[in-house]
A and B are shown apart, each in its own frame.
Chain A
Amino acid sequence: MTYHDPSASVFAPPPSTDRAVLEVRDVRVEFPTRRGTLVATDGVSFDIAPGEILGMVGESGAGKSLTGMAIIGLLDPPGRLAAGEIRLEGTRIDDLPPRKRQLIRGRKIGAIFQDPLTSLHPLFTVGAQLTETICFHLGVSAKEGRMRALTLLKEVGIPAADERVDHYPHQFSGGMRQRVVIALALAANPCLVVADEPTTALDVSIQAQITALLKRLCREHGTAVLLVTHDMGVIAETADRVAVMYAGRIVEIGPVLDIIRNPRHPYTRGLMRSIPGLRQRAERLSQIEGAMPRLHAMPDGCAFHPRCPDAGPRCGIARPDLAPVSGATTSAACWLHQGGVSHAAGR
């Protein structure tokens, strides 16, 4: 069930062990409502190798943030993990009791949220928030915790950290706050960081700095990252591999350069064509016609087929599973690469 060959990735350092740091298998997130159960994500499976950065890209509502939250273990009720398994360093964590799960958060899995303006508690100094996290997870004295807080602030590039450690979040700019959030995520040296749209709320000029920082720190610490974003540019710069989500499922996954250069799934192709490039100037940007289906109105077969330029009769009847594309490093969930779209009895 391994979907990728890490050595094929362009950026990734060869992983020290074969064991993936995170294994996600057939995860299904549901929202029970009065009018029935809404399935927000289904059959989501992927691995992240130690030190690897996996980008997860998709439109709003594709289920990428929910997948991240399910891994952290903070799905907002009534949302729940209805099926599947999540393993961290080989140990299953999705069925742990809340108290044990809480000890993993922050210690083993760090989190970065979208909006640094609201992620930090406004009434505590950044030093206090860092120290409290460090002391709780690493069991060190307040003094040692503060020392480590200072080191972390310096590491994430806060100028005059000795002075800034006693400042409140409102005294920092947006980019600086996100640096503090990154420091908090890395406070206990976790093996995985789930970064949910870490640059979306920031100024464009600062986005690149933050992604570069995140990438550098995770390389240095050997921390794996699940980078959730809708910005393909961020993925291209940062990630080793990318998973493309559509309507709650992964439709394509593979090394980032291969997917950018040669996308296999029609949705990914549409996504790539809709990104403005430097060379094509006057051209009108292409867009994918239509909108993503709503959760309570999923079409039969492949969820993308109503918008797909290549759809055939088979696509409206049966849903393709994610499978390796022959002759490529990627996997795609599309009949195009699994025997064609025309004959309904293709299997």
Chain B
Amino acid sequence: MLAFILRRIANAAVVMLTVALIAFIIFRFIGDPVEMMLNEQATQMQRDALRERLGLNSSAVMQFAKFVTNAVQGDFGISYRNQQDVFTLIMERFPATLELVLVATILSLALGIPFGVITAIHRNSMLAQGLQFLSIVGISLPSFALGILLILVFSVQLGLLPGFGRGEVVDLGFWETGLLTTSGLKALILPSITLALFQITLVMRLVRAEMLETLRTDFIKFARARGLPNRIVHFRHALRNCLMPVITVTGMQIGNLIAFALITETVFQWPGMGLLFIQAVTFVDIPVMAAYLVIVSFIFVALNTVVDMLYVVIDPRLRTQSTAGGGHGA
């Protein structure tokens, strides 16, 4: 078990190094950082001084080593645009994105799993057919269109919910949360629905397909033959067997949501990392882009590692213990 964990962490480290290399190459070779950071009237002296300060005179390998060392300590340099520490800048925005993504993920699991089970068990009922139809809408509707539609209906026409921003936030010292104020929660509703709709349908369709598969297995038939009620057979025995792929997809989707929340964030002017990234792209703010790349990759890799470990918790067959003996003849 320990060997397994260490192997996963070593894997993750290699992936992160590769990502760091790509981020480093972007930073170093897309344009000259010195030209971008100084204005056109800067003297050659100033240029050389900055070049020296940024360590651009040492060899590429040394520079990469320095980049990695700094990145591990959370130092991604200074933003070109607002001359602030990039890591601090991103971390200020991170809570907004994470709260949005977590609420969307919880929504997608809380709705997607029961919907999937219902559509699998009562395959021919009106409800199941309706949900199946809606899921096609959910999968095909682009999130920006849905976001704009929701704003139009609930903010502009009905005036019930705010159409942009994060509402009031409470500063907990290390974390700015919008979950503790009414306006913060209200502001969260539309963006999280926008972000979650695709996920809900994805989880629902996945659970449905897995359930249909599982309901045909012998152990489900045997569970019925043991006289267990449908409730237990469906929600305990069958659903448990469907959780592996759901966890895989959810783990990867949380990463995706963080990375691609930027569309939803743009539509709702949500002050998260995505919005910051979009602004960085507009101003060719390379340190911010490089840091964003590294941080998002880190989240991806961390989630994948956690998912791998969750497998072991759920499926006892993956726990290779010495007690697992086929040696007992009957």
What is A's interface to B at a CB cutoff of 8 Å? 72, 74, 102-107, 111, 113, 115, 118-125, 132-133, 136-137, 159, 167-168, 170-176, 178-179, 181, 184, 187-188, 202-203, 206, 209-210
Contacts and interface: CB of A to CB of B under 8 A. Distances in A.
A121 B224 contact: no
A318 B315 CA distance: 58
A43 to B, nearest CB: 25
B330 A173 contact: yes
B224 A74 contact: yes
7 contacts: A106-B226, A133-B227, A168-B316, A173-B328, A175-B330, A187-B226, A202-B330
Given A121-B219, A123-B240, A123-B241, A210 B330 contact: yes
B226 to A, nearest CB: 4
Contacts of A209: 330
A123 B223 CA distance: 13
A317 to B, nearest CB: 41
B317 interface: yes
A136 B316 contact: no
Contact of B232 (A105, A113, A136): A136
B217 interface: yes
A72 B317 contact: no
B87 to A, nearest CB: 42
Contact of A118 (B218, B224, B316, B326): B218
A173 B226 contact: no
Contact of A107 (B227, B240, B328): B227
Interface in B219-251: 219, 221-230, 232, 237, 240-241
Interface string B295-330: 000000000000000000011110000011111111
B317 A122 contact: yes
Nearest to B238: A121
B242 to A, nearest CB: 11
B330 A133 contact: no
Contact of B222 (A102, A111, A132, A137): A111
B226 A113 contact: no
A152 to B, nearest CB: 13
Contacts of A173: 326-330
Contacts of B229: 102, 136
A102 B224 CA distance: 8
A181 B221 CA distance: 13
Given A167-B323, A171-B325, A173-B329, A136 B314 contact: no
A106 B227 contact: yes
